[in-house]
Structure 1
Amino acid sequence: MHAFQLLADEHQSLAAMLHAMHFTLKEIAAGRLSADAALLRAMAHYLTAYPQHCHHPREERLLFERLRARTDAGDAVLAELQAAHDASAEHGRTLLTALDAYLAGGDIHTLSAAFDQWADFYRGLMLREEQQLLPLLRAHLSADDWAAMDAEADPPSAEFTALFSRLVAAAPAPVGLGQGPYVEPAVTPSTVRSPVMSSSVSEAATSRFVRIREGDLDLQLHYHDCGQGAETVVMLHGSGPGASGWANFNRNIDPLVNAGYRVVLMDCPGWSKSDPIVCTGSRSELNARALKGLLDALAIDKAHILGNSMGGHSAVAFALAHPSRVGKLVLMGGGTGGPSQSVPMPTEGIKLLQALYREPTIDNLKKMMSVFVFDSSSLTEALFQTRLDNMLARRDHLENFVKSLAANPKQFTDYGPRLSEITAPALIIWGRDDRFVPLDIGLRLLWGLGNAQLHVFNRCGHWAQWEHAEVFNRLVRDFLRD
């Protein structure tokens, strides 16, 4: 039970840090210790960021999902624990806000009260997991389940392990070694984006869930969280049946992670493992609201947004609604709805896509994919079968897409008249042979956006990031860096 021991060790580490911060605040309040701002910030970061980005996603992926698959006896407990996981980000923001206020000259007792609320909340969460979840796991999971979890468990985060060690060294005795003040390790541009750094992320290890509440949206989103870095790149997938962030961008993640970026892939509502939804209004704006909810939940203030097809439409919708939260835009095969001036609408590819939603068969999938890319000879039977399996695993998504089209045939807003409002630098990438969204739509974007450049690939269809991955990755890295 290596995986379970890893999670138990994480509980112990978090409990130790709760105790250490409680002691430190008590000593400051009593006048026996001077405040070390860097130490307090690092402690609060560990207590709020480690659960959100490492511990909770690991529990949800290894324990929650597997228990749900084995029995419904734990549904009530899992719902309660999932709600607590989802609420932890807001609780964490309350603690961090109180810390900022104290370090700006506020009262230590106000910070201590905010910390006590966080500590009570989180100790209660860990206690419920140990007293309610553990018995269910022991009762319903087999030896094969535990072995599979051991195989799937990713190693502890090197970043947070190192942070914990630094905190133990700097924290006052007796909760630490008393070697403060706390000092962050030096970080240089070369260590943040060294070209010799190399890592490979996996689909399972980066899988995450989060509950978002944004306007009229209240749903669970699935996403992948890859790498670490001062800047974040969010990738938004297209609208094809069976699409997901990972399926769209698995050839593009490692190069950006190795360049020093955090990469987040959002599965839009109605796709992959995200909750189902019927969209009767603008799909572009629905996805933009979901993206805001995700960024808020992950405490990401600003991000570069890379969108393919529907993802491009959604990126533009987000940039119009929240311009201050966008760094740069990369738009491929999408960015605005509206008619093509050169090809009858709907296009050949869109007709085949809609037919596949209505009749999800291997033959219809092959028909669509034959015009999806320029050279379909690179598409294997295994790829077709995997995509079909993904589609059929979520028939509710297929049915809801058809219902959405019936309710509103124009799912994607024509942003042509508003493109000039966007000031973020934009890289537009298109396939000359795109039979889903023709090249003249890319030219409309180039004409309308105030700070844009266009790259057109020869012998390329609707999937530039997959068909020309190596050159595409280099273009995006250079654009984001400059």
Structure 2
Amino acid sequence: MTIWTDLLGAEVRFHNAGGWRTRAIQAGNEGPAIILMHGVSGHADGFCKNVIPLANAGFRVYAIDAIGHGLSDKPEDVVYECPLYVEHLKRFMDANNIDKAFFVGQSLGGWTAMSFAHQYPDRVLGIVSLTGAGLRLSDPESEAIVQKVVQGVADVTKKATDAPTRESVRKRLEWLMADNNDVTDELVEVRYRYFTSEQGLRIMPKIARETIGEGNNRWMLTEDILKSLQTKILFLWTDQNPSMPAHIAEKASKIVPHGEYTVVEPAGHWAHFEQPEKVNKILIEWFKNV
């Protein structure tokens, strides 16, 4: 199977999201909207195994390239921190007349989704934080883990974005997966092409510095923010996530007013790609029962 055989029946569209050209891989014409959001340095193609199954279950599905990523616009005169990704998401929804949506946010996408819910609670039907980033709990153990995780993500990302080669891109993708065999040559080539485009070479190092930089820490999801979120949130984690460990997500699920927690295994950071049948089943059942 390839990315495009997985996506047979989907469309690729470019939307004017408030002045930012935004790529979406989308499918489904009826039902509630689901917006799929990738992590830092990622792209919508990573949801190739999820778009069609979710659409076939009765949803309108949009896997989007975040601003600066994939084939979306890559402006230089912005700061690639959480508020920018929230604003981009809002503009995308406005451009497509999406009043409310479900969100599946993987890594940075989870951080963006919950920050969006904090700012625009009336536009959120529910959130699945899929090995989501940005959690900052107050206990000393959690704080130490956050510092270690941020540094680890920064190191592995910058090695791939500062001077990208196919090998460095493969290493970045292998970091995501519990089983390196899940990293296909096609996936490596797609990401390598994004990183080494003229705009990619200019912007990806900036994204790595700013999105994983100290400045973005001020926008992290503190316990006060988590307690304020009134939407239902599923923390969908894995047994081998290389970033935030599962027990931190479980703690967070008990802090938000309407939190749930479940683990998919075996999987690393990209359960939606590593274990698509399991993840799709969980997503469909959860969205239909929220």
TM-score range, shorter chain: 0.7 to 0.9
CA distance in 2, matches of 1:336, 1:356: 21
The Cα offsets for residues 72-119 of structure 1, whole Å up to 9 and x where unpaired, read as xxxxxxxxxxxxxxxxxxxxxxxxxxxxxxxxxxxxxxxxxxxxxxxx
Cα offset for 1:403? 5.5
Matched, 1:370 2:168: no
CA, structure 1 residues 278+430, in 2 after alignment: closer, same or farther (shift >3 Å)?
farther
Match of 1:336 among 122, 134, 145: 134
Contact 1:334/1:441 (CA < 8 Å) preserved in 2? no
Contact 1:304/1:329 (CA < 8 Å) preserved in 2? yes
Which fold has the larger relative contact order, with Cα–Cα distance below 8 Å and residues 6 or more apart in sequence? 2
In structure 1, the partner of 2:188 is: 384
SS in structure 2 of the partner of residue 346 of structure 1: helix
Match of 1:228 among 18, 21, 29: 29
Contact 1:365/1:388 (CA < 8 Å) preserved in 2? yes
CA distance in 1, matches of 2:155, 2:273: 22
* Aligned-pair identity (%): 22
Normalized per residue, the structure richer in strand is 2
Give the counterpart letter for 2:150 in structure 1: P
**TM-score by structure 2 length?**
0.85
- In the TM superposition, 1:218-367 aligns within 5 A as 218-240=19-41, 243-245=42-44, 247-278=45-76, 281=79, 283-338=81-136, 340-342=143-145, 344-367=148-171
Q: How many residues align?
A: 274
Give the counterpart letter for 2:259 in structure 1: A
CA distance in 2, matches of 1:349, 1:458: 21
In structure 1, the partner of 2:3 is: none
Instruction: Give 5+ residue unaligned stretches, structure 2.
Output: 1-5, 137-141
**TM-score by structure 1 length?**
0.53
Instruction: Give 5+ residue unaligned stretches, structure 1.
Output: 1-199
Normalized per residue, the structure richer in helix is 1
Q: Considering only CA atoms, is the larger Rg found in Structure 1 or Structure 2?
A: 1
CA, structure 1 residues 458+342, in 2 after alignment: closer, same or farther (shift >3 Å)?
farther
Matched, 1:207 2:207: no
CA distance in 2, matches of 1:340, 1:372: 22
CA distance in 1, matches of 2:207, 2:80: 13
CA, structure 1 residues 293+351, in 2 after alignment: closer, same or farther (shift >3 Å)?
same
Query: How large is the Cα RMSD of the aligned pairs?
Result: 2.4
CA distance in 2, matches of 1:455, 1:254: 23
The Cα offsets for residues 176-211 of structure 1, whole Å up to 9 and x where unpaired, read as xxxxxxxxxxxxxxxxxxxxxxxx7548x6122222
CA distance in 1, matches of 2:38, 2:47: 8
Contact 1:357/1:398 (CA < 8 Å) preserved in 2? yes
Cα offset for 1:476? 0.5
Match of 1:452 among 259, 262, 272: 259
Contact 2:161/2:201 (CA < 8 Å) preserved in 1? no
CA, structure 1 residues 350+456, in 2 after alignment: closer, same or farther (shift >3 Å)?
farther
Give the counterpart letter for 1:404 in structure 2: E
> After alignment, is 227-236 or 365-374 more displaced?
365-374
